[in-house]
Structure 1
Amino acid sequence: MNIWHICIFELKRILKIRSVVLNLFILPLLLIFILGTALSSTMGTADDVIPDTVRVGIIHLSTESGGGSSTVNQALDTFVKSPEVAEMIKVQNFMTEEEAVHSLRTGKLDFAVMIPSDFEQNVMMGKEARLQWIRGKDSTLNTLGETLFTRFTDEWNRQMAISKVLGPEVTAAMTSGLESNGANSTSITVINPGKTGTSYSASQYYAASMLAMFMLYSGMTTSTSLFGERDNRTLTRLQAAPIGNGVIFAGKIAGNSLLAFLQATTIILMTYWFYGVDWGTYPGYIVLTCVLITLASMTLGIIVSLVCKSTASAGATLQGIIIVMTFISGGFRPIPVDLVQRLSEFTVNHWALQSFLRMMLDAPVGEIVYNILMLGVVCAVLLAISGLIYRKAGYRYE
């Protein structure tokens, strides 16, 4: 008896369990169909995510009233009239803040910008100068407006810093350069990653996220199998055979790995044939990503099995880990929170999902390889941890 015999026996044994077939093969396909259909209106083509023209109100404070500066106003006018910026915003000028706020409330404006009274004074004193935002109802248009005018203040602060270092004699030249470069220095575009004019659909998004999540659930079959041999007292019989514990352990892991890969193949082909999910044109990278997810699934199952004392505790622990990783990685719904996004970078699901999405969008190979490499790094860490725990605990009776 060798690893191959144990592997095939393990695979046949698991496939005879109806609950396993239901949970690992049928349930993910059902969830992909439900989520993809129910949330199809929230995701669409790239045309859906490119915002319309932003109606911006600019509050010009007169120099006679002690606020603002004609130089600042002129530079801002030049900036908003540059061809690239003019394509994205429609500007209306206001003399008071109350007028702009009223237009925002009545829906005549999407976003407003006000020049603080101490704007130029802060610049001359070497402090950072910023414009004041008055946000509208649409968060996407607010973000676009803030991005555009932050570009203006960044350029203004840069030019003024240069003039301060080089001396007052070049201040006029720097100001002139800022005004003349209002059109030339603006390079702000709104694009989607990957192929221009395309975006992943809800079915694609949830096919990728559910594939990653349910492949990790294959680790639970590994945990159950390892505990099953102990609980049923059949591990003693296996150890009585002329094979080592390492061969028994490796055979079981190999069998469950084949199950995970079979699961991935089934989900990918079924979603492609029946749901029309486009998985991209990189089958080799898809296979590599699935192999790494399988590795992560097996190592998680090993770690939990060797640390926990019972099947119930191991199952609950592993299920909790998988759900948390799926949630913070945006597997159920994208979460636009910086802290959560940072935490998700330490999970298997994040890099697996990003790898699949980049392939679906036909992104540059460099982006795809980067995400796969990061997934490999996470798998390597999990593999090292599982190796250390196995050397200490081993697969044997307590």
Structure 2
Amino acid sequence: MKGFLIAWKDFKIRAMDRRGFMMMLIMPLILTLILGAALKDIVGSDEGFQETTVGLYVDEKDPMADALKQDVLAKTDFLRVKNVVSEKKLEEMVNKGEVEVGIYIPAKWSANLAGAVLYSNQDTQLKATVVEAIITSFTDRVQTVSSASETVMENMAEVTAASTGAGDLGETGDRVSTLLAESGKADMAVANQSVGETSVSSMQYYSAAMLVMFLLFNVTLGAKSMIQERQTDTLARLNSTPVSKYGILIGKFLGTLYFAFLQFLLFYAATSFFFSVKWGENGGQVIATGFVYSVAVAGLSMLLAAFITKEKTADLISGVGIQMFAIVGGSMLPIYAFPESFKTIAALTPNNWALTVLLDIMSGVGWSELLLPFSVLGTIGLVSMLIGAWRLRGRYV
């Protein structure tokens, strides 16, 4: 019970700091508005990805180039393909802005699927990244199909040679190759959606991105609060009361959790009302995400407080460390623009988990799809809190 009173005291102190509270709410709203509007040509408007005009020049007729054009590019709903007569003309069209991204396919591309060149200008680099990802996905799928086809044919040849019953190996091989090729082409078109059914606009994306980034600042705020109270002997006075040491630490944890969760709810309400941001069909999922992420943030604040002793260190982490987490976690640039290796690193950050689950909720998913990210975020918070409390018990209280 005493721990809840300490939590309420911490919460009131932060909530009554008008300047700090306004910065924690107004700043993310302003950045959301700026980034959501400025980058709608890249991420997309409410209707999805902004339409991208792609110029395509194929040096000579090539079956894989035809498959790329007809089965992938032409079936990707936000791409509009223009055939170009030469590589020089393609480069000119990109420079003049007649097409936003240019694709050059060299002669005999089917042989190794290498040597394709992508043209873009400074304003369309992220769109070019998306197109490049589509082409890479296609070539990887074709190479996988080719390898699988060769393996199947080799095994069939061995079986046929050992069998007394003769079979039409050529006809069977053609059938296998056809089935594998069809499988390789399936589901190659890229749409602007996550694991759900609804597209996510730039305003939706940056609402979630700014929210998870600014909630991270509560990690350093919570840590600074404990450092300040130790320096002013506030913790020592609390320790002289009947409250147990763990009661004090739980109160500090809950104080950060309360404030972070309130910040989440206010931002959620403000963007829904003022910016008409659609956070998904299930508000309960959004609120549950906010609570679990607030647990992670509060736990990390305890962990940070356990390993630093100076306010300047907390300020440095707030200014540099949080920004690094924001960049890696996808708050600055859309996650889909990251290379695969970078996405693996991003998965190590709690804000990336929170951002991803919010985008999934916006696109429309069931509760079962949220069990893994909720478990990860909850584990981060509880484990961090336990480690932090164990170290802080002997240091501060």
TM-score bracket, normalised by the shorter chain, equals 0.7 to 0.9
Note if 1:348 corresponds to 2:350.
Answer: yes
**Contact 1:133/1:146, CA 8 A, preserved across alignment:** no
> In 1, distance between residues paired with 2:137 and 2:396?
56
Corresponding position of 1:224? 224
What per-residue deviation string (whole Å, max 9, x for no partner) do you get for residues 38-70 of structure 1?
32332225653676687462636xxxxxxxxxx
Corresponding position of 2:108? 115
Corresponding position of 1:135? 117
Corresponding position of 2:248? 248
Corresponding position of 1:362? 364
Corresponding position of 1:316? 316
Comparing 140-149 with 232-241, which one deviates more in the overlay?
A: 140-149
> In 2, distance between residues paired with 1:132 and 1:291?
48
1:1-398 to structure 2, matched below 5 A, reads 2-45=2-45, 48=49, 55=56, 57=58, 59=60, 76=63, 80=67, 84=71, 88=75, 101=87, 104-105=90-91, 110-115=103-108, 130-137=112-119, 139=128, 140-167=130-157, 172-173=170-171, 176-177=174-175, 180-181=178-179, 184-185=182-183, 186-187=185-186, 188-191=188-191, 192-196=193-197, 198-334=198-334, 335-390=337-392, 393-396=394-397
Distance 1:248 1:175, change over 3 A: closer
What per-residue deviation string (whole Å, max 9, x for no partner) do you get for residues 114-137 of structure 1?
4379x5xxxxxxxxxx33333242
> In 2, distance between residues paired with 1:132 and 1:163?
25
**Contact 1:209/1:332, CA 8 A, preserved across alignment:** yes
- Larger radius of gyration, structure 1 or 2? 1
Paired AA for residue 363 in structure 1 = V
Aligned-pair CA distance for 1:102:
5.2
**Contact 2:194/2:359, CA 8 A, preserved across alignment:** no
Q: How many residues align?
A: 364
Paired AA for residue 234 in structure 2 = T
> In 2, distance between residues paired with 1:17 and 1:85?
54
Distance 1:146 1:325, change over 3 A: closer
**Contact 1:110/1:142, CA 8 A, preserved across alignment:** no
Distance 1:167 1:15, change over 3 A: closer
> In 2, distance between residues paired with 1:252 and 1:144?
48
Q: CA RMSD in A?
A: 3.6
Q: TM-score, normalised by structure 2?
A: 0.77
> In 2, distance between residues paired with 1:180 and 1:345?
37
Distance 1:311 1:57, change over 3 A: same
Q: TM-score, normalised by structure 1?
A: 0.77
Distance 1:298 1:56, change over 3 A: same
Distance 1:328 1:160, change over 3 A: same
> In 1, distance between residues paired with 2:219 and 2:146?
55
Distance 1:58 1:7, change over 3 A: same
Aligned-pair CA distance for 1:353:
0.3
Paired AA for residue 317 in structure 1 = I
Distance 1:160 1:181, change over 3 A: same
**Contact 2:208/2:355, CA 8 A, preserved across alignment:** yes
> In 1, distance between residues paired with 2:219 and 2:82?
57
Aligned-pair CA distance for 1:304:
1.8
Give the secondary structure class of the aligned counterpart of 1:277: coil
Distance 1:131 1:371, change over 3 A: same
Distance 1:80 1:223, change over 3 A: closer
Question: Which consecutive residues of structure 2, in runs of 5 or more, have no partner in the other structure?
Answer: 94-98, 121-127, 161-167
Paired AA for residue 147 in structure 2 = N
Aligned-pair CA distance for 1:382:
2.8
What per-residue deviation string (whole Å, max 9, x for no partner) do you get for residues 292-343 of structure 1?
2212222222122221122222332354332211110110112523332211
> In 1, distance between residues paired with 2:82 and 2:170?
27
> In 1, distance between residues paired with 2:383 and 2:51?
39
Paired AA for residue 103 in structure 2 = D
Paired AA for residue 395 in structure 1 = Y
Paired AA for residue 373 in structure 1 = S
